[in-house]
Structure 1
Amino acid sequence: MLSIIAFIIIATIVALLITQKVHPVIALTIVPVAGALIAGFGFEEISDFFSEGIASVLPVVIMFIFAILFFGIMQDSGMFNPLIHNMVKISRGNVILVAMVTVIIGGLAHLDGAGASTFLITIPALLPLYRKLNMSPYLLVLLIGLSASIINMVPWAGPLGRTAAVLGVDAAELWPPLIPLQIISIILLIGFAAFLGWMEKKRIEKEGLLINTDNAGMFESNINTGSESEGKNLERPKLLWFNLLLVLIVIISLVTNILPAGLIFMIALCIGMLVNYPDAEVQKDRLASHAPNALMMGSIILAAGTFLGIMDNSGMLESLAEDMVSVLPAFIVPYLHYVVGAFGVPLDMVLNTDAYYFALLPIVEGIVSPLGVESVEIAYSLLIGNIIGTFVSPFSPALWLAVGLAGIEMGRYIKYAFFWIWGFSLVILLVGFLLGLY
């Protein structure tokens, strides 16, 4: 009975998340509570499940809120703008080099872990360049999406935070083993971008559209971070090196785990605000500007804590896992995390991020971990297999923004990018295996 109720709860949540009939907070809260009541648990027991679930995700929530606020302030200060400007100039209109530089720009812009701001910064900056060179805007979105997906393994981005919430650990603890993978992945992606750029150049030549790139000045690009007047008022070019140093100190502190991740970002936010915007009214305005994104993610993680607390502490997840093991072919069970990881990108087409991490990951972990596989290894395989496909899924709001900014069609983009992205994800999954992550 517990297995049946658990399956219905998960299926209902997945269906609600996929169809986007309700907000994730509603699905992750109401459905498990109703399921627990149907299963015969009383209010006192459900309260205990809730408390334990919230306690397990609270550090993740704190980190998310203050990380988003901190990087939002860094974005306001214009810290990334000169870096992106210089990268655009370096490319000098060479199609292959432009494709390679696009990867670097996408990675730099995504250091805040927010897909929407990444596309808002990079696509308006690079689209004129792509148009002048007759390069495909589909290639632009593909390369930025792949680069952002690799950087998306940082602990203040969504996937690792959700994984940490499921495992009940600090996201900052999961990140250090992923750093070598990120570095290798970016290097591989630059090489992949060179290949795609070479193909793009051949296409342009075939269509007779290749242009003279001797005049590098024609490839200047404007970076837009909001309304022009507001952006100029908020930018702090004289504090660029201070802000870069502050971000570097934050990253080193996270890697060395010198303090809890949430406290690191709280301190960094306060320092960044005091130095860049000493006026109290401006500080209030900047916090109000970024608070909706921070609170949105925080509320989803807290709701996920409710879901996980009920499913785990009630025994429903364990019961479902045991019953699933009994029906799966025995030879598949020990390798289930590899199988799911390998199909992570296709699964992104039918499951959104919340459904993948909050519904599928706990089931796979519950099935495979009793066989002696570490929970963190299971999580890494699912994370790495799926995260590369973040920005090819129609369930990604940031991708819809990218499609709109680039003036392309979602269906054509998925057709153009899907197999490239899936193939690249399999390569990265193999690299993770060779690095001993799972």
Structure 2
Amino acid sequence: MLSIIAFLTIITIVILLIKGKVIPVVALALVPIIGAFLAGFGLGEIGEFFNEGIGSVMNVAIMFIFAILFFGIMQDVGLFDPLINKMIALSKGNIIAVSIATVIIAAVTQLDGSGASTFLITIPALLPLYQRLKMSPYLLLLLIAGSAAIMNMLPWAGPVGRAASVLGMDVTELWQGLIPVQIIGMVLMLSLAFFLGLKEKRRIEQRHSYSIDAISAVGGGTGVTLHAGQNDMEQEEDKNSQSLPKLFWMNALLALGIITLLITGIIPAGFAFMIGVAIALPINYRSSKEQTDRIRAHAPNALTMASIILAAGSFLGILTGTGMLDSLAGDIVTILPAFVGPYIHLIIGFLGVPFDLLLSTDAYYFALLPVVEQISAGFGVASLTTTYAMIIGNIVGTFISPFSPALWLALGLAGLEMGKHIKYSLPWLWGLSIVLMVIALVIGVI
């Protein structure tokens, strides 16, 4: 009976999240309570399960709040603007260079962990350049999506934080094992950008019957004859570069210091970002009103993510405390063929990107991961191995999912269609995900 209630609880949450009938906090908070009542537990017992669950994710929630505030402030003060402007200036006219620059720019802008802000910064900046060079806007979206998704392995981004809350472990510790995979993933993404840029260059030359290299030679290496408006844009970029904030290097050192603290793990991630926010605000904003305004500007994103993590803690606390999760996993293990069980985490990992078309990020990590982790544990597979397999297998497809609000924003900004984006991007990103999974197996991460 516990297994049936657990299954119905998880399925109900998944359906609610897929249908978009309620926000994740509502589904994760209310449905498990109803399930616990049906299983015969009283309100007092459920309250104890809640406390245990919240305690396991509190550090993750605190980290999210201050990480989003910190990187939001860094975006506000223009820390990343010089690099973005320089990459755009250097890559103009060269199809392959534009493709590679797109990956780098997306990676930098994704440092705040927000896909929405990444698309808001990169698409308006790069889309006119793609249009002028007759490059496919779907290539632009693919490269941004892949780069931002790999950067999403950062501990203050969504997926790793969700996974850490499921395991009840420190998010920085979980991320440290993923750092080699993340670095390799970015190298692969740059290689893919080079290959697709070369492919796009050939497509453009064939379609328009001219040599981009020849035009590049005539146009002084720009690859296209720029409109007056584009020259104006270049002048504006130069002007912006000359008027950089005087505290740019101080902010850069501060950001580097905070990231160093995260990698070394000397102090908890939440504490590191709290220190970062406390230093960044008075450095860049002199009055308390200005400092308060910056907090208010980024508070909605910070509190939304923190509330989801806390609600997930409640969900996991109730399912674990009632024994529903153990019961469901145990019963599934008994009906699975013996040869499948030890490899279920790998099977789910290799299918992780297609799962993005069926499940939201919340459903994947809060509903599917706990069940797979319990099943794999029954066959002697370490929880960390299962979690890494599911993160690496799934995360590359974050921004091809129709359940990603940030992707809909990107499609609107670029004037593109969801179906065509999935058709264009899915084979490449799924292939990249599979290669990353194989590499993770080879180097022992999985």
Correspondence 1:337 to 2:345: yes
Task: Tell me if the contact between 1:5 and 1:39 (Cα under 8 Å) persists in the aligned partners.
Answer: yes
| CA distances 1:249-282 after superposition (whole Å, capped 9, x unpaired) | 1111011111111110001001011101121111
3 and 208 in structure 1: CA distance in 2 versus 1, 3 angstrom threshold: same
Q: 2:375 aligns with which of 349, 355, 367?
A: 367
Q: Could you tell me which residue of structure 1 aligns to residue 292 of structure 2?
A: 284
Correspondence 1:17 to 2:25: no
Q: Could you tell me which residue of structure 2 aligns to residue 295 of structure 1?
A: 303
Correspondence 1:389 to 2:423: no
| CA distances 1:100-145 after superposition (whole Å, capped 9, x unpaired) | 1111111111111110000111111111111110001100010011
Measure, in 1, the Cα distance between the counterparts of 2:372 and 2:286: 49
Measure, in 2, the Cα distance between the counterparts of 1:222 and 1:5: 60
Q: 1:416 aligns with which of 424, 428, 444?
A: 424
Measure, in 2, the Cα distance between the counterparts of 1:205 and 1:167: 51
Measure, in 2, the Cα distance between the counterparts of 1:411 and 1:184: 29
Measure, in 2, the Cα distance between the counterparts of 1:260 and 1:183: 23
Q: Give the TM-score taking structure 2 as reference length.
A: 0.94
**Structure 1 residue 239 displacement after superposition:** 1.6
Query: Matches of residues 145-184 of structure 1 in structure 2 within 5 Å?
Result: 145-184=145-184
Q: 1:243 aligns with which of 238, 251, 270?
A: 251
85 and 220 in structure 1: CA distance in 2 versus 1, 3 angstrom threshold: farther
Task: Tell me if the contact between 1:77 and 1:236 (Cα under 8 Å) persists in the aligned partners.
Answer: no
Query: Matches of residues 99-248 of structure 1 in structure 2 within 5 Å?
Result: 99-208=99-208, 212-213=215-216, 214-215=219-220, 216=222, 218=226, 237-248=245-256
Q: Could you tell me which residue of structure 2 aligns to residue 55 of structure 1?
A: 55
Q: Aligned Cα RMSD in Å?
A: 1.7
The range that moved more, 276-285 or 148-157, is 276-285
Measure, in 1, the Cα distance between the counterparts of 2:117 and 2:48: 38
| CA distances 1:210-251 after superposition (whole Å, capped 9, x unpaired) | 55343549467969xxxxxxxx9xx96222211111111111
Measure, in 1, the Cα distance between the counterparts of 2:57 and 2:204: 50
Structure 2: runs of 5+ lacking an equivalent:
235-239
The range that moved more, 206-215 or 14-23, is 206-215
Task: Tell me if the contact between 1:162 and 1:358 (Cα under 8 Å) persists in the aligned partners.
Answer: yes
Structure 2 letter corresponding to 1:159: P
247 and 408 in structure 1: CA distance in 2 versus 1, 3 angstrom threshold: same
Task: Tell me if the contact between 2:333 and 2:378 (Cα under 8 Å) persists in the aligned partners.
Answer: no
Task: Tell me if the contact between 2:150 and 2:185 (Cα under 8 Å) persists in the aligned partners.
Answer: yes
Structure 1 letter corresponding to 2:136: S
Task: Tell me if the contact between 1:321 and 1:366 (Cα under 8 Å) persists in the aligned partners.
Answer: yes
103 and 413 in structure 1: CA distance in 2 versus 1, 3 angstrom threshold: same
Structure 1 letter corresponding to 2:181: L
Q: Could you tell me which residue of structure 1 aligns to residue 325 of structure 2?
A: 317
Correspondence 1:274 to 2:287: no
| CA distances 1:376-413 after superposition (whole Å, capped 9, x unpaired) | 11100000000000000010001111111111111111
**Structure 1 residue 147 displacement after superposition:** 0.4
Identical columns (%): 58
Task: Tell me if the contact between 2:188 and 2:432 (Cα under 8 Å) persists in the aligned partners.
Answer: no
Measure, in 2, the Cα distance between the counterparts of 1:247 and 1:25: 31
Structure 2 letter corresponding to 1:420: W
Structure 2 letter corresponding to 1:368: S
